[in-house]
Structure 1
Amino acid sequence: MTKPKVLISDALSPAAVQIFRDRGIEVDFQPNLGKDKDKLAEIIGNYDGLAIRSATKATAKILAKATRLKVIGRAGIGVDNVEIPAATARGVIVMNTPFGNSITTAEHAISLMLALAREIPQADASTQAGKWEKNRFMGVEITAKTLGVIGCGNIGSIVADRALGLRMKVIAFDPFLSPERARDIGVEKVELDELFKRADFITLHTPLTDKTRNIIDASALAKMKKGVRIINCARGGLVDEQALVDALESKQVAGAAFDVFVEEPALSNVLFGH
């Protein structure tokens, strides 16, 4: 019997590669292939499975060449880099790992929030440059501040729990969050406009869909408290980046901490320099 063949086209841990091999699967590990759409389309027909992260885009064009493909597995939560209708039409199962990096991402969001509040990157750069500007980087305390969580699912609820431990007040907008669940995790469920008006910090933990694209736009930013701080560890495209730059320049937004962008890698992103 021929071994099933799996292509890993993004950077995954060696442990992930070994898991496949331990189960008798032939693995082709090409961690940089996902960035080369033409090369991926050229060879995808040789594989029964495709394992990806974010760099690989499983488009309809690529799936049309995937004559043997039976399953796509994404090491992560969202599957917005896979054209689901095209995969379904070809009988390809699309799977994800919804709990795999929830704690890691939540802790990262909290880390960015604290770095943002205390201006750690700027203070570090200043100190590395031989300066000693203690009064310039006072920052703000997060204790007793209100954190607005947009999307209170797996990751958002962990962020809320950690923020409560830091003595913040947590309010959340999530159409799928029941009042009972909100009460159980200690957050106040609110509508989006109320979150914008009340939050001192806002963190995003929602997938990118037609409804959430630019959920924070110029209009939303205008409704927020002056001096709000925004964290995005979820998806590029949830925030209108040019509108955010304008709000940073006008001081409506005191700071932003992002690790996702509309275009990645974000070598010339509009946010850089702000």
Structure 2
Amino acid sequence: MKCLLIQPIHPSGIALLEEAGLEVVQASAHDMETVAREIVGADAAITRNAGLNRAAMEAGSKLQVLGNHGIGVDPVDVDYATEIGLPIAFTPYANVQSVAELVIAHMLAIAKRVRECDTAVRDDRFDYRYTRDFREVSGKTLLICGFGRIGRRTAEVAKAAFDMRILVHSPSVPAADIEAAGFVAAPDLDAALGEADYVSLHQTLTPRTRGLFSRERLFAMKKDAALINTARGALVDREALVEAVEGGHLRGAAFDVFETEPPPADHPYLACKGLVLSPHIGGSTEEAAERTAVQAAEAVLAVLNGKRPEHMVNPDVWERRRKVA
């Protein structure tokens, strides 16, 4: 049997597949035209943020399972996979701690002006330390938008490490559950924005959340607050964000995600000095990369051996899943 890796994964995951007798083949490129050519004959595939489109699924007529390396499945044609009975297994827990830690790192970078301090030393401006433009995060208010696994863990770390007051806006989670976790439910997003010193985004991208942080909402945020996005780039109006930061309404913002990755050369964030940017590294720590690869490989092997994986994007297909002789 053959497993196509659409994008590279940690060697531990590859070893697991090979020990089970699979031939593991790395795609020569991760664009869907190339994948459609190279997926022919594959019994399984593992993808990361490249996803898998309909044309590639049609070309992969022997495909019995798609392993999704991570949580987000936006680039995967889930509807078509479900239509043809192709199970999609994913790894919802593997990167939780790593992404939560990145949120905290970004929050501290903005509070302590880490990016600006580095530039000042390199530019022989050591007196930058006298600007008094540095902040503590302890005791401040953090608004978590989206109380999934990563949002919850971020809230736990921020409260435990810095005694932050945690507000949680998550329409799909009962207020009682939020309060039981030790946080404050904030059903009115606009009201909560006026209270928060830091806002961290953890929503999935849906028609409701696309552009959720519009110009109006960005300017409804507390003066000198900061926005951190490790979820999806399209949650935020990018031109309005640059305006809010460069105009001084927001202290800054940090983004690990973009609508198109990598962002094009003319992306407005690249010219905005008040932004801290990272190349979608939230789940890319060595620890998370190994956990994710191993869990994705285990899920693929489970399906190939007729066992239902623990985490499926489309669980309804299991009883009618595609079986190729």
Tell which has more relative contact order, 1 or 2 (C-alpha 8 A, sep 6+): 2
1:101 pairs, out of 82, 95, 102, with 95
1:146–1:67 distance in 2 versus 1, CA, 3 Å = same
Q: Contact 1:230/1:257 (CA < 8 Å) preserved in 2?
A: yes
Q: Contact 2:51/2:73 (CA < 8 Å) preserved in 1?
A: no
2:305 is matched with none
The runs of 5 or more residues in structure 1 that have no matched partner are none
- Are 1:238 and 2:232 matched, yes or no? no
- Structure 1 distance, partners of 2:212, 2:10, is 33
1:141 pairs, out of 121, 128, 136, with 136
Question: Which deviations, in whole Å up to 9, do the C-alpha atoms of 1:159-181 show, x marking residues without a partner?
Answer: 00111121110001112222332
2:2 pairs, out of 5, 14, 33, with 5
- Are 1:227 and 2:224 matched, yes or no? yes
After TM superposition, list the pairs within 5 Å mapping 1:129-168 onto structure 2: 129-132=123-126, 133-136=128-131, 138-165=133-160, 166-168=162-164
Deviation of 1:124 (Å): 1.0
1:207 pairs, out of 204, 208, 211, with 204
Deviation of 1:267 (Å): 4.6
1:171 pairs, out of 167, 183, 187, with 167
1:71–1:13 distance in 2 versus 1, CA, 3 Å = same
1:262 pairs, out of 259, 262, 277, with 259
- Which amino acid in 1 is paired with 2:141? T
- Which amino acid in 2 is paired with 1:131? R
2:20 is matched with 23
Q: Contact 1:144/1:169 (CA < 8 Å) preserved in 2?
A: yes
Question: Which deviations, in whole Å up to 9, do the C-alpha atoms of 1:50-79 show, x marking residues without a partner?
Answer: 10111x231122222221111111111121
Deviation of 1:109 (Å): 0.7
Deviation of 1:261 (Å): 0.7
Question: Which deviations, in whole Å up to 9, do the C-alpha atoms of 1:148-168 show, x marking residues without a partner?
Answer: 000011000110011112111
* Larger mean Cα displacement after TM superposition, 123-132 or 86-95: 123-132
1:112 pairs, out of 85, 106, 112, with 106
Q: Contact 1:123/1:137 (CA < 8 Å) preserved in 2?
A: no
Number of aligned positions between the proteins: 268
- Are 1:74 and 2:71 matched, yes or no? no
- Structure 1 distance, partners of 2:64, 2:185, is 41
Q: Contact 1:119/1:137 (CA < 8 Å) preserved in 2?
A: no
2:80 is matched with 86
Deviation of 1:8 (Å): 0.7
- Which amino acid in 2 is paired with 1:154? R
- Structure 2 distance, partners of 1:143, 1:82, is 40
What SS class does the counterpart of residue 157 from structure 2 fall into?
A: helix
2:181 pairs, out of 175, 179, 185, with 185
What value does the CA root-mean-square deviation take over the aligned residues? 1.4
What SS class does the counterpart of residue 271 from structure 1 fall into?
A: helix
Q: Contact 2:211/2:235 (CA < 8 Å) preserved in 1?
A: yes
- Structure 2 distance, partners of 1:215, 1:29, is 37
2:46 is matched with 51
- Structure 2 distance, partners of 1:264, 1:209, is 18
What SS class does the counterpart of residue 209 from structure 1 fall into?
A: coil
- Structure 2 distance, partners of 1:80, 1:122, is 34
What SS class does the counterpart of residue 135 from structure 1 fall into?
A: helix
Q: Contact 1:57/1:81 (CA < 8 Å) preserved in 2?
A: yes
The runs of 5 or more residues in structure 2 that have no matched partner are 273-325
- Structure 1 distance, partners of 2:44, 2:197, is 45
What SS class does the counterpart of residue 176 from structure 1 fall into?
A: coil
Deviation of 1:187 (Å): 1.0
